[in-house]
Structure 1
Amino acid sequence: MEENSDGGDGGNDVELLCKILQEGHKFFYFDLKENPRRRYLKISEKTSTTRSTIIIPFNGISSFLDLFNYYVNSDDHNVFSKELQHDIKVFYFDVGKNRRERFHKVSEASISRTR
């Protein structure tokens, strides 16, 4: 996951649901939140030195999970990177590999409404 400059967390945000998953030395936080403008899912990955966050609009969660499940359930080592555009965001799903493991990387970017 990549850093998010979108902010999502304002002073009026209410936490509706929070789940924490630990995998090795990493913690993953899944926070369903709501503010006066919208409801959204905030996913954060935290290690001892870094924290990365993506924010998914509520009405995009289903599409996001469909694509995420595609990667999780795929045994094919020839899985390609994909993009998911939703409203003013693009989520990038990439596959990587290092000496220890094969991994999936999810990042986001904002796009202009005029695009």
Structure 2
Amino acid sequence: MEGNSSGGGGGGNDVELLCKTLQVEHKLFYFDLKENPRGRYLKISEKTSATRSTIIVPFNGISWFLDLFNYYVNSDDQNVFSKELQLDTKADY
């Protein structure tokens, strides 16, 4: 993926630091760690055969995502709805 300013809010000063790609079934995920004058962020894009969606996660919010992913990974199907996730609903930036 090329380093550009889409989604980062940096007006063209975005620098690509690290890129990883993950394919799961028919979906392709791009994980791009980037930096602009406002700081580092993780750009996560999902590409299917017809569409592409992107979210931007500020660097200090990545650990919140990891906590949430780990919650689902470590929950079996029967306990996922009864198990409480101990996360605040709002991250302070």
TM-score calculated relative to the size of structure 1: 0.62
Matched, 1:85 2:86: no
| One-letter code aligned to 1:48 | S
Q: Which runs of 5+ in 2 are unaligned?
A: 1-5
Bigger RCO (CA 8 Å, 6+ sep): 1
Q: How does 1:1-115 map to 2 (within 5 A)?
A: 7-8=7-8, 10=10, 11-80=12-81, 84-87=89-92
User: Shift in Å at residue 76 of structure 1?
Assistant: 3.2
Normalized per residue, which structure has more strand?
1
Q: CA-to-partner distance for each residue in 1:19-45, whole Å, 9 max, x for gaps? A: 001112110100000001110011111
Give me the identity figure in percent. Answer: 79
TM-score calculated relative to the size of structure 2: 0.74
Runs of at least 4 residues of structure 1 off by over 4 A?
A: none
Q: Which runs of 5+ in 1 are unaligned?
A: 1-5, 89-115
| Bigger-Rg structure (1/2) | 2
RMSD, matched Cα: 2.4
